[in-house]
C-alpha cells in the first residue's frame, strides 16, 4: 500500500511540474520582482546547467570504477615508493581530461580503492589545469601574450608536484576520507554481484552520488551567483598596485567566482590591463585548484581538518611560487 501511494504521489507532483512546463508561459511576475533577483537566478541556473553534464560524467566514472575496478588493480598501477609516484601522477593527471566538477567524486572513489592520498591530491589540483582544452582556451584568451598560457601550465605542473609532496609530508598515506558506520564488512560488494545487477548498480549508485554532490554544487552556485551580481569588480582593481598584495587579491577573487577552468582565462584577460602578469597567473592557477564550489564538495567527502590543512597547503604554495616567479622572471 505504502509503495503504491508513493507512486501515486510522484505521478501527481510530476503532473504539476508538467503543468508548469506546458501552460505557465513565464507568468508576468517578473514585473513584481527586482531585476537583480532575476540576474542572480539566471547566473545561478547557468552555473548549475553548465556543471550538470560534468557532474554526471564524474559520478558515472566513479560508479564505473566502483563496479568494475578492483582494489588490486589500483594498487598494482601505483609505484611502491610513494615519492616515485608523484611525477607519474602529475603526467597522468595531464592526460585525464576532467574539469574540477568531475574530478572530486572520481578521486574519492579511487582513494577508497587504495590510491595513496597524495596521489589523489595531485589529481585534484593538476587535472583541472593540465589539460589540452584549458591550454587552448588560455592561449586564445591571451593571444597577444602566449607566455601566459605556457607559464600557467608550467606553474601548475610544478605546483602539483609541490602540493603532492607536502601532503605526503604532513599526512603520509593516512586515510582522510569520511567513513561511515554503514560500511559493514558483511555487506555484499557490488563486484561480487551478477552482470545484470552491475549495470543497475552503476545507475543507482550514480544517482545517489549525484544527490550527494549536487547539494554542494547548488549551494556553491548560489553563493557564486550572488557574488557575480553584486560584487563591484572595480573595488578589486583598486587593490591592483601592490606587488605582494595583488596576487592574494586575485586568488581570493578566483576562489569566490568558482569559474570553470576552461573559461576563467577569458575573465582573467578582462583584468589584463589592471593587474600584473603575476597576479593573473595567481588567478589562473589558484582558481581551478581551489574554489568555493569545490571546497564545499571537499568538505562533504574529506575530514574537515584535512580540508583546512589542504587549503592552507595550496594557498601557501601558490602564493610563494607566484612571488618567486615574479621575482625571478618579471
Q: Which residues from 138-177 bind other proteins, rule CB under 8 A?
A: 139-140, 142-148, 150-151, 153-154, 157-158
Q: How far is the CB of 10 from other proteins (least distance, A)?
A: 5
Instruction: List helix spans (H) across 231-269.
Output: 233-237, 246-257, 264-269
CB-wise, 140 or 245, nearer to other proteins? Answer: 140
Q: How far is the CB of 170 from other proteins (least distance, A)?
A: 25
Question: Which of 14, 84, 169, 316 is close enough to bind other proteins by CB under 8 A?
Answer: 14
177 phi/psi in degrees, rounded to 5: -80, 155
Instruction: Using the rule CB under 8 A, give the single segment among 11-19, 73-81, 115-123, 239-247 that binds other proteins.
Output: 11-19
Q: Write out the three cell numbers for 284.
A: 589562473
Q: How far is the CB of 319 from other proteins (least distance, A)?
A: 18
Question: Which of 174, 215, 241, 327 is close enough to bind other proteins by CB under 8 A?
Answer: 215
In SS3 terms, 78-126 reads as CCCCCCCCHHHHHHHHHHCCCCHHHHHHHHHHHHHCCCCHHHHHHHHHH
- Mark residues 69-108: x for contact with other proteins by CB under 8 A, - for none: -------------------------xx-------------
CA distances in angstroms from 108 to 192, 200, 209, 307, listed in the order given: 21, 21, 11, 13
Facing residues of 177 across strands? 302
For residue 315, state whether it binds other proteins (rule: CB under 8 A).
no
Which region holds residue 114: left if phi is over 0, alpha if psi is between -120 and 50, else beta?
A: left
- Near other proteins in 180-199, by CB under 8 A: 180-183, 187-190, 193
CB-wise, 1 or 76, nearer to other proteins? Answer: 1
Q: How far is the CB of 86 from other proteins (least distance, A)?
A: 14
CB 236 within 8 Å of CB 252: no
Amino acid at each position: 500500500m505504502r509503495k503504491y501511494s508513493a507512486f501515486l504521489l510522484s505521478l501527481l507532483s510530476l503532473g504539476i511540474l508538467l503543468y508548469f512546463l506546458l501552460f505557465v508561459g513565464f507568468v508576468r511576475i517578473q514585473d513584481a520582482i527586482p531585476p537583480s533577483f532575476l540576474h542572480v537566478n539566471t547566473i545561478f541556473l547557468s552555473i548549475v546547467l553548465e556543471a550538470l553534464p560534468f557532474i554526471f560524467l564524474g559520478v558515472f566514472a566513479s560508479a564505473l570504477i566502483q563496479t568494475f575496478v578492483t582494489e588490486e588493480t589500483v594498487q598494482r598501477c601505483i609505484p611502491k615508493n610513494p615519492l616515485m609516484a608523484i611525477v607519474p601522477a602529475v603526467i597522468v593527471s595531464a592526460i585525464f581530461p576532467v574539469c574540477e566538477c568531475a574530478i572530486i567524486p572520481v578521486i574519492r572513489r579511487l582513494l577508497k580503492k587504495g590510491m595513496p592520498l597524495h596521489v589523489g591530491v595531485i589529481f585534484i589540483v593538476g587535472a583541472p589545469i593540465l589539460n589540452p582544452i584549458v591550454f587552448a582556451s588560455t592561449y586564445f584568451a591571451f593571444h597577444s601574450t602566449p607566455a601566459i598560457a605556457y607559464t600557467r601550465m608550467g606553474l601548475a605542473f610544478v605546483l602539483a608536484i609541490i602540493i603532492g609532496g607536502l601532503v605526503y609530508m604532513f599526512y603520509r598515506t593516512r586515510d582522510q576520507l569520511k567513513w561511515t558506520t554503514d560500511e559493514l564488512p558483511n555487506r555484499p560488494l557490488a563486484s561480487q554481484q551478477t552482470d545484470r545487477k552491475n549495470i543497475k548498480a552503476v545507475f543507482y549508485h550514480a544517482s545517489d552520488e549525484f544527490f550527494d554532490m549536487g547539494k554542494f554544487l547548488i549551494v556553491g552556485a548560489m553563493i557564486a551567483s550572488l557574488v557575480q551580481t553584486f560584487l563591484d569588480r572595480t573595488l578589486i582593481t583598486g587593490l591592483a598596485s601592490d606587488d605582494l598584495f595583488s596576487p592574494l587579491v586575485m586568488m581570493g577573487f578566483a576562489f569566490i567566482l568558482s569559474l570553470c577552468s576552461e573559461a576563467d582565462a577569458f575573465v582573467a584577460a578582462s583584468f589584463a590591463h589592471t593587474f600584473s602578469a603575476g597576479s593573473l597567473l595567481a588567478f589562473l592557477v589558484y582558481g581551478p585548484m581551489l574554489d568555493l564550489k569545490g571546497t564545499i564538495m571537499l568538505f562533504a567527502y574529506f575530514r574537515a581538518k584535512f580540508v583546512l590543512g589542504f587549503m592552507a597547503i595550496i594557498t601557501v604554495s601558490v602564493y610563494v611560487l607566484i612571488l618567486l616567479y615574479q621575482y625571478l622572471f618579471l
